[in-house]
Amino acid sequence: MTGFSAEWLTLREPHDLRARNSTVIEAVATFLELCSSVQIVDLACGTGSTLRALNPFLPMRQNWKLVDNDLSLLARATASPRDNNATLSAVPLDLNRDLEAMLDGVVDLVATSALLDLVSETWLDRLVVEMVTRAIPLYAALSYDGRIALTPHDPLDVAIIAAVNAHQRTDKGFGPALGPAAAALAIARFEALGYSVVRGTSDWVIGPDAPAMQSELLAGWANAAREVDALPRAEISAWLRRRRDLVAAGRSVLRVGHADFFATPSATR
């Protein structure tokens, strides 16, 4: 599975849904509650995970623009089950090139998930400036924040996690990625420009009942460690074997730190 494949996004979605911070979702719902209809733009929608997560909390009519540069993911997103108060349109677009076009016109909310840790500081600043100029609120969920805890402990865990976090900062198509720094930096930028922010953690806690998710994460982390060349390959492979044995024995729990936030322009409603 690749980082953006439909298979991976489907595997992670139930964990994302459980992890999304309910205080942050409530803040979004409360902010929009007086609207009879809302225009929502979902940046890098993938298969539509954010739509499926937010739709049940929004009783008003919703028009969702689902934006991604992957046509097959967009096709899945527009086929999403949802309450019949939501209309969906797919927008195939490269957010690195054409971000600004997605924010023009009436937009009541920009939503995104698992995107900000992929983008560069330059792209984040572009997003913040464009949002603030138009006084649009942002719901940004599931930005990886650098915290990984593996139980039981293995002596190589710390070195592997350091390698994963180094890999997180490599270019994912938007320039050098912010990785674990993304959510904190985005919040600081919005607050500096007068936005109010509701924030909370949205950690995955993946237990023995989810061996496929655990195996996929561990394989991804081993690959990341190989790609940044931080450790001898034989040590990485031995670590992966030990961790897979723990998964097979039903003894492994993985915690992966994420942050959610909702940033709103002050005094617009």
Ligand X SMILES: C[S@@+](CC[C@H](N)C(=O)[O-])C[C@H]1O[C@@H](n2cnc3c(N)ncnc32)[C@H](O)[C@@H]1O
Interface map 1-40 toward ligand X (x if CB under 6 A) = ---x----x-------------------------------
Helix (H) or strand (E) holding 253: strand 253-265
Question: Is 216 a residue that touches ligand X (CB under 6 A)?
Answer: no
DSSP for 211-226, please give it. HHHHHHHHHHHHHHHH
With CB atoms as reference, the residue minimizing the distance to ligand X is: 46
Question: Is 123 a residue that touches ligand X (CB under 6 A)?
Answer: no
Closer residue to ligand X in complex, CB, 45/186: 45
CB of 43 to ligand X, least distance (A): 7
Applying CB under 6 A, which of residues 70, 157, 216, 235 lies at the interface with ligand X?
A: 70
Question: Is 49 a residue that touches ligand X (CB under 6 A)?
Answer: yes
Q: Which long-range contacts (CB under 8 A, 24 or more apart) does 29-36 make?
A: 29/57, 29/58, 31/109, 31/137, 31/262, 31/264, 31/269, 32/58, 32/60, 32/108, 32/109, 33/60, 34/269, 35/60, 35/108, 36/60, 36/61
Helix (H) or strand (E) holding 66: strand 61-68
Question: Is 259 a residue that touches ligand X (CB under 6 A)?
Answer: no
Question: Is 95 a residue that touches ligand X (CB under 6 A)?
Answer: yes
Segment interacting with ligand X (CB under 6 A) among 111-119, 120-128, 160-168, 186-194: 111-119
Residues 207 and 247: their CA atoms lie apart, in Å, by 9
Closer residue to ligand X in complex, CB, 73/246: 73
Q: Alpha carbon 197 to chain centroid distance? A: 17
> Under the rule (CB under 6 A), what is the footprint of ligand X?
4, 9, 44-46, 49-50, 68-70, 73, 94-96, 113-115, 173
